[in-house]
């Protein structure tokens, strides 16, 4: 196909929904089409306004009101040209979604007529009536004010006919009510701390950013089947369903050819994503049937987080067009793999250095070692907090469920790095200059190993936190998570650690050690101090559970217990010291997460109770009656001897069904009772804990009996689509 001119293509794409006939010859022709990016800013803004935005992005300088007006005008002109009629501040409240309230550009004017209005003040700050967003007690509903404020570092984009402006969301009194605010603050903290440490190695570094490349796993289910499963529709996962006779045993889905219908969906949502400037690059099948993955090229963490949130909503929207429903739940189906969102994380300098990339000479190797060991130290000292950042009710079904990393935080480094650390540790020296051994240790191995080799060897997929050549991959993050949560914690603990490291090094220097020697001494200390969390074996094995316990590593699998790390004195100190979150904000987040946990369990418990009583038991009774009728007929037809012989099996089945029905009924009654007990507590900590110990076990138990019934009861009358139908797309 002949390549059309760019402008013409824009018009076609914009006016009509995408159509198979519209073919671009290259992604570069439509990448970022719906984004007010640098190129468009240059086109639509004065030099002065453009420079201000640039400055604000790189140095975090405040936005000047007068210039903000110019930006708003440029943005509006571009957006209206692209067919936008509305604008919205787009933010990430703490309920885990994205929020938007659309306002029209249109404004009536005195004397009739109307104009399209969008001013700097509307761009920069708004005051949505946001009383129904969770605030953890920070904002009283009678004083429902919360502010959204423009984040210039994440470009505005158009969805459908709405211009969306990424913003932070804070309370009237300035506390963060979202994920973005602390994420941006953690970026600032990391930048300052990492720059100080970088200065030891590279004098010219002016800025350090966190980089994030997420890998999004998801399931697809046919929309009609999804709608026939109230549990899936209301809770995101199947609360019942016996395993299909065949699911992932043969591992024939992983990296297999993508079904045509799925591939059409992927192309469609990727097209939309690319127009929004989301650099999606990789797609493949995952291990479980109907499970897939999508991954972009990594970006600066704040932008990557926005892009992930945006992609999830694009995927949901486009799925409906293909009669699919996309599931981001961490464990929609029991017995097959759950879904994660691996967070590949590193740090990069404005001079183009990846700080976790092994160097080519001793100096850059020392820098590499410094950042790797500081990461180890940060993770080791804050494992509980890191876990709390990713442990949600849904994720508890995945973590430790023998195909996902356990809830024990350990780090995998690979043989090359481990050998090197060992060598360094052994080269003990108390002299004030480096021994030849120490110097050799730095020169050895790592510099000589090409990056590509480090990248592709030594992969350990069972580790929750693995070094993968030039970055760490945090694999315990759940598929539905907002990546900001783990990123805030990683950036903050790293910033804090780098500050301590800097202080320790300066201390050694003041004792008379040369700088490199001082660094070396501290690193050697860290090697010893972090040995405990390094684990290279199979993280899914039972041996590891025992070994981790021996090492004193925590293995917390329950949300209320895990969340305590959010409000521990050490977390509060760390977050306040680095100006990321205040005590009040942490307490609010703790409360919100407990509340979300409680509500999720409560909803599941109600849905399960309803389905059990209204769908499953009546079906079981119906089948029982069929069997009873059958037995009665046998009794009429057969003589006693024959009857006893032949009806025995039927009677056994009848008894079995009765037993399961009673267990289900008793289970549901007891579960309701437990909910009442839990709800009677007044502190959310107690409510959540009571839901955990009182209600959660019943959800599993009731399911067990329902799944048994599914195997016994006539398929024709079973009221819900089964796993074998849900899990295979034809």
Cβ neighbours around 357 below 10 Å, total: 18
Among 215, 306, 496, 604, binds ligand ADP (CB under 6 A): 215
Question: How far apart are the C-alpha atoms of 170 and 93, rounded to whole Å?
Answer: 9
Backbone angles phi, psi at 73, to 5 degrees: -60, -45
Question: How far apart are the C-alpha atoms of 678 and 686, rounded to whole Å?
Answer: 8
Contact letters (x/-) for ligand ADP, 256-295, by CB under 6 A? --------------------------x------------x
Cβ distance to ligand ADP smaller for residue 135 or 462: 462
Does 211 engage in binding with ligand ADP (CB under 6 A)?
Answer: yes
Backbone angles phi, psi at 474, to 5 degrees: -90, 105
Cβ neighbours around 620 below 10 Å, total: 24
Q: Residue 488 CB, nearest distance to ligand ADP (Å)?
A: 16
Structure tokens at 412: 């995998």
Residue 610, SS3 per DSSP: helix
Structure tokens at 193: 């701390």
Cβ distance to ligand ADP smaller for residue 116 or 300: 300
Question: How far apart are the C-alpha atoms of 248 and 89, rounded to whole Å?
Answer: 43
The secondary structure of residue 574, as a DSSP letter, is: H
Does 358 engage in binding with ligand ADP (CB under 6 A)?
Answer: no
Does 367 engage in binding with Mg ion (CB under 5 A)?
Answer: no
Instruction: Kindly identify the residues of this chain, within the stretch 207-236, that bind Mg ion according to CB under 5 A.
Output: 215
Q: Residue 281 CB, nearest distance to ligand ADP (Å)?
A: 7
Does 699 engage in binding with ligand ADP (CB under 6 A)?
Answer: no
Structure tokens at 53: 């935005």
Q: Single out the segment in contact with ligand ADP by CB under 6 A; choices: 28-36, 151-159, 210-218, 609-617.
A: 210-218
Q: State the DSSP H helix or E strand holding residue 211, giving kind and residue range, or none if neither.
A: strand 208-222
Q: Buried b / exposed e across 701-712, counting CB within 10 Å, b at 16+?
A: ebbebbbbbbee
Does 45 engage in binding with ligand ADP (CB under 6 A)?
Answer: no
Cβ distance to ligand ADP smaller for residue 298 or 397: 298
Among 120, 241, 289, 296, binds ligand ADP (CB under 6 A): 296
Does 342 engage in binding with Mg ion (CB under 5 A)?
Answer: yes
Instruction: Kindly identify the residues of this chain, within the stretch 131-160, that bind ligand ADP according to CB under 6 A.
Output: none
Are the C-beta atoms of 511 and 493 separated by less than 8 Å? no
Does 253 engage in binding with Mg ion (CB under 5 A)?
Answer: no
Residue number closest to ligand ADP, CB atom: 213
Question: How far apart are the C-alpha atoms of 382 and 566, rounded to whole Å?
Answer: 11
Cβ distance to ligand ADP smaller for residue 92 or 475: 475
Cβ distance to ligand ADP smaller for residue 32 or 236: 32
- Could you tell which of Mg ion, ligand ADP, none binds residue 295, using a CB distance below 5 to 8 A set by kind? ligand ADP
Q: Single out the segment in contact with Mg ion by CB under 5 A; choices: 62-70, 102-110, 342-350, 532-540.
A: 342-350
Cβ distance to ligand ADP smaller for residue 56 or 346: 346
- Could you tell which of Mg ion, ligand ADP, none binds residue 275, using a CB distance below 5 to 8 A set by kind? none
Q: Residue 279 CB, nearest distance to ligand ADP (Å)?
A: 8
To which residue do tokens 């508890």 refer? 396
- Could you tell which of ligand ADP, Mg ion, none binds residue 85, using a CB distance below 5 to 8 A set by kind? none
Q: Residue 414 CB, nearest distance to ligand ADP (Å)?
A: 14
Q: Residue 454 CB, nearest distance to ligand ADP (Å)?
A: 12
Cβ distance to ligand ADP smaller for residue 296 or 694: 296
- Could you tell which of Mg ion, ligand ADP, none binds residue 298, using a CB distance below 5 to 8 A set by kind? ligand ADP
Structure tokens at 326: 């996309």
The secondary structure of residue 638, as a DSSP letter, is: S
Q: Residue 657 CB, nearest distance to ligand ADP (Å)?
A: 46
Cβ distance to ligand ADP smaller for residue 215 or 591: 215
- H helices within 479-564, ranges in order? 484-510, 515-530, 542-551, 559-563
Q: Residue 473 CB, nearest distance to Mg ion (Å)?
A: 5
Q: Buried b / exposed e across 585-605, counting CB within 10 Å, b at 16+?
A: bbbbbbbbbbbbbbebbbebb
Q: What is the CA radius of gyration of the chain?
A: 29
Q: Residue 533 CB, nearest distance to ligand ADP (Å)?
A: 21
Does 298 engage in binding with ligand ADP (CB under 6 A)?
Answer: yes
Does 98 engage in binding with ligand ADP (CB under 6 A)?
Answer: no
Does 350 engage in binding with ligand ADP (CB under 6 A)?
Answer: no
- Could you tell which of Mg ion, ligand ADP, none binds residue 463, using a CB distance below 5 to 8 A set by kind? none
Structure tokens at 77: 């002109």
Taking the chain, what is the end-to-end CA distance rounded to the nearest angstrom? 32
Beta pairing class for 411-412 and 465-467: parallel
Residues in the interface with Mg ion (CB under 5 A) total 2
Cβ distance to ligand ADP smaller for residue 282 or 323: 282
Cβ distance to Mg ion smaller for residue 102 or 284: 284
Question: How far apart are the C-alpha atoms of 195 and 349, rounded to whole Å?
Answer: 8
Q: Residue 282 CB, nearest distance to ligand ADP (Å)?
A: 5
Does 212 engage in binding with ligand ADP (CB under 6 A)?
Answer: yes
- In Å, how far are 464, 469, 495, 522, 653 from 410, measured between CA atoms? 6, 17, 20, 21, 48
Cβ distance to ligand ADP smaller for residue 126 or 344: 344
Among 86, 89, 307, 471, binds ligand ADP (CB under 6 A): 471
Cα angle, residue 176 at apex, residues 399 and 196 outer, rounded to 5°: 80
Q: Residue 472 CB, nearest distance to ligand ADP (Å)?
A: 9
Does 354 engage in binding with ligand ADP (CB under 6 A)?
Answer: yes
Cβ distance to ligand ADP smaller for residue 166 or 213: 213
Residue 63, SS3 per DSSP: coil
Cβ distance to ligand ADP smaller for residue 56 or 349: 349
Structure tokens at 73: 């005008």
Question: How far apart are the C-alpha atoms of 336 and 348, rounded to whole Å?
Answer: 37
Residue number closest to Mg ion, CB atom: 342
Question: How far apart are the C-alpha atoms of 220 and 284, rounded to whole Å?
Answer: 13
Are the C-beta atoms of 541 and 459 separated by less than 8 Å? no
Instruction: Kindly identify the residues of this chain, within the stretch 431-470, that bind ligand ADP according to CB under 6 A.
Output: 470
CB half-sphere exposure, 574, CA atoms < 13 A: 27
Backbone angles phi, psi at 513, to 5 degrees: -80, 145
Are the C-beta atoms of 292 and 266 separated by less than 8 Å? yes
Does 297 engage in binding with ligand ADP (CB under 6 A)?
Answer: yes
Structure tokens at 675: 């909910």
Question: How far apart are the C-alpha atoms of 44 and 380, rounded to whole Å?
Answer: 48
Chain residues that interact with ligand ADP, rule: CB under 6 A: 211-213, 215, 282, 295-298, 344-346, 354, 470-471, 473
Chain residues that interact with Mg ion, rule: CB under 5 A: 215, 342
């Amino acid at each position: 196909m002949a390549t059309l001119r760019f402008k013409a293509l824009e018009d076609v794409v914009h006016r009509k929904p995408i159509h198979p006939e519209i073919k671009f010859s290259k992604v570069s022709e439509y990448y970022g089409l719906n984004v007010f990016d640098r190129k468009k800013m240059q086109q639509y803004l004065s030099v002065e306004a453009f420079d201000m935005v640039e400055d604000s992005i790189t140095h975090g300088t405040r936005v000047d009101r007068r210039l903000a007006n110019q930006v708003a005008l440029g943005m509006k002109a571009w957006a209206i040209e692209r067919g936008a009629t509305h604008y919205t501040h787009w933010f990430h409240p703490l309920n885990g979604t994205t929020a938007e309230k659309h306002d029209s550009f249109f404004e009536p004017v005195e004397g009739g007529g109307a104009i399209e209005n969008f001013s700097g003040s509307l761009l920069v700050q708004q005051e949505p009536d946001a009383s129904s967003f969770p605030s953890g007690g920070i904002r009283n509903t009678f004083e429902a004010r919360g502010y959204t404020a423009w984040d210039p570092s994440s470009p505005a984009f158009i969805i459908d006919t709405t211009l969306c402006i990424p913003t932070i969301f804070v309370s009237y009194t300035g506390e963060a009510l979202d994920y973005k605010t602390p994420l941006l603050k953690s970026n600032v903290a990391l930048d300052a701390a990492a720059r100080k440490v970088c200065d030891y190695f590279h004098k010219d570094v002016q800025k350090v950013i966190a980089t994030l490349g997420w890998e999004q796993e998801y399931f697809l289910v046919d929309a009609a089947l999804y709608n026939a499963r109230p549990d899936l529709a209301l809770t995101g996962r199947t609360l019942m369903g016996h395993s299909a006779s065949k699911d992932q045993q043969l591992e024939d889905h992983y990296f297999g050819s993508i079904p045509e219908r799925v591939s059409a969906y992927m192309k469609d949502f990727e097209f939309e994503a690319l127009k929004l400037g989301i650099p999606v690059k990789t797609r493949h099948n995952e291990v479980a049937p109907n499970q897939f993955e999508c991954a972009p090229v990594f970006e600066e963490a704040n932008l990557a987080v926005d892009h992930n949130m945006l992609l999830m909503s694009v995927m949901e929207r486009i799925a409906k067009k293909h009669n699919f429903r996309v599931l981001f739940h961490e464990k929609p189906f029991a017995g097959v793999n759950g879904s994660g969102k691996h967070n590949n994380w590193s740090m990069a300098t404005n001079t183009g250095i990846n700080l976790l990339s092994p160097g080519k000479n001793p100096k850059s190797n020392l820098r590499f070692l410094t950042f790797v060991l500081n990461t180890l130290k940060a993770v080791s000292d804050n494992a509980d907090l890191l876990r709390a950042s990713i442990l949600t009710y849904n994720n508890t079904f995945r973590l430790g469920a023998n195909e996902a990393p356990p809830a024990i935080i350990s780090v995998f480094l690979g043989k090359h790095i481990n050998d090197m650390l060992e060598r360094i540790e052994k080269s003990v020296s108390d002299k004030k200059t480096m021994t030849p051994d120490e110097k050799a240790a730095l020169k050895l191995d790592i510099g000589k190993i090409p990056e590509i080799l480090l990248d592709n060897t030594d992969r350990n997929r069972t580790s929750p936190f693995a070094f993968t050549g030039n970055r760490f991959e945090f694999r315990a993050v759940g598929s539905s998570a907002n990546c900001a949560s783990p990123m805030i914690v990683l950036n903050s603990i790293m910033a804090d650690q780098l500050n301590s490291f800097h202080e320790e090094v300066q201390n050694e220097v003041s004792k008379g050690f040369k700088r490199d020697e001082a660094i070396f001494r501290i690193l050697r200390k860290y090697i010893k101090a972090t040995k405990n969390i390094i684990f290279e074996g199979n993280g899914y094995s039972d041996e590891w559970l025992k070994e981790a316990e021996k090492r004193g590593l925590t293995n917390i699998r329950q949300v209320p217990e895990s969340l305590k790390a959010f409000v521990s004195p050490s977390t509060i100190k760390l977050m306040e010291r680095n100006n990321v979150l205040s005590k009040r904000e942490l307490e609010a987040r703790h409360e919100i997460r407990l509340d979300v946990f409680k509500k999720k369990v409560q909803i599941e418990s109600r849905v399960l109770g309803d389905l059990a009583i209204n769908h499953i038991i009546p079906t079981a009774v119906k089948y029982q009656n069929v069997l009873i009728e059958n037995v009665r007929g046998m009794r009429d037809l057969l003589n006693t001897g024959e009857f006893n012989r032949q009806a025995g099996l039927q009677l056994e089945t009848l008894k079995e069904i009765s037993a399961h029905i009673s267990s289900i009924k008793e289970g549901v009654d007891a579960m309701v009772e437990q909910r009442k007990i839990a709800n009677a507590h007044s502190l959310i900590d107690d409510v959540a804990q009571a839901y955990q110990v009182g209600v959660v076990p019943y959800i599993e138990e009731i399911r067990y009996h329902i799944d048994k019934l599914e195997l016994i009861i006539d398929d024709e009358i079973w009221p819900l689509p089964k796993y074998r139908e849900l899990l295979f797309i034809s």
